[in-house]
């Protein structure tokens, strides 16, 4: 049980990974909870497309306490070497921005959405992410999401939840739904 009388803050590293749906939305839910506690939140979405999403509209309404930044675009063609290089460059730029934001001490919670996926597909170096975890402000919470989180990240995290794919409507041929997927 969480000791709610203990107001002392311990910065945690939370990981949402696995094949089932709910990783990004779990991170968003936690981030909204933190925002509701008056905490300053930054969410960076790696590999997200430029299309508008419900969370983008919602976060705008939350004001300056919740910032959302997008890095990279939605579609990666792993067979196209030139495209891969472009994606790598964007992801690495994004990670640089993330490091600066994290070490600035301006945020009490930072979410790196789809960062696990970016690591597992070799867009960014997991050593770099491990180093960011080691150098983050001790009281800041850091959330990492995405499938296939590397083992070293799971070991370093304070909490890991693996979403289990019991079933998903997509396999019945139902495409992405407004309000559920975006």
In the range 100-159, which residues lie near ligand ATP by CB under 6 A?
114, 147
Q: How many residues bind ligand ATP (CB under 6 A)?
A: 15
In the range 163-182, which residues lie near ligand ATP by CB under 6 A?
163, 165, 168, 170, 176, 181
Residue (of 124, 119, 118, 121) closest to 96 by Cα position: 124
Give the number of other CB atoms < 10 A from CB of residue 56: 14
Distances (CA, A) of 95 to 47, 52, 136, 179: 12, 22, 13, 28
Under the binding rule (CB under 6 A), the answer on residue 73 touching ligand ATP is no
Under the binding rule (CB under 5 A), the answer on residue 17 touching Mg ion is no
SS3 122: coil
**Rounded Cα distance, 89 and 123, in Å:** 8
Under the binding rule (CB under 6 A), the answer on residue 65 touching ligand ATP is no
Residue 21 partner contact from ligand ATP, Mg ion, none using kind-dependent CB cut-offs of 5 to 8 Å? ligand ATP
**Rounded Cα distance, 177 and 182, in Å:** 7
Shorter beta-carbon distance to Mg ion: residue 21 or 86: 21
The one segment of 17-25, 37-45, 89-97, 149-157 that binds Mg ion by CB under 5 A: 17-25
Task: Give me the residues paired with residue 81 across strands.
Answer: none
- Minimum Å gap between C-beta 58 and ligand ATP is 13
């Amino acid at each position: 049980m969480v000791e709610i009388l203990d107001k002392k803050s311990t910065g945690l590293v939370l990981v949402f990974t696995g094949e089932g749906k709910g990783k990004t939305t779990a991170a968003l839910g936690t981030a909204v909870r933190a925002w509701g506690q008056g905490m300053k939140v930054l969410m960076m979405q790696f590999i997200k497309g430029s299309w508008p999403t419900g969370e983008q509209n919602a976060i705008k309404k939350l004001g300056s306490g919740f910032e959302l930044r997008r890095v990279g675009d939605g579609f990666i063609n792993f067979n196209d070497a030139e495209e891969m290089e472009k994606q790598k460059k964007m992801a690495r730029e994004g990670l640089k921005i993330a490091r600066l934001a994290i070490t600035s001490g301006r945020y009490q919670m930072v979410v790196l959405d789809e960062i696990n996926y970016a690591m597992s597909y070799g867009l960014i170096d997991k050593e770099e992410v491990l180093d960011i975890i080691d150098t983050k402000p001790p009281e800041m919470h850091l959330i990492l999401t995405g499938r296939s989180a590397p083992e070293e990240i799971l070991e370093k995290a304070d909490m890991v939840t693996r979403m289990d794919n019991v079933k998903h409507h997509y396999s019945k041929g139902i495409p992405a739904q407004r309000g559920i997927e975006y």
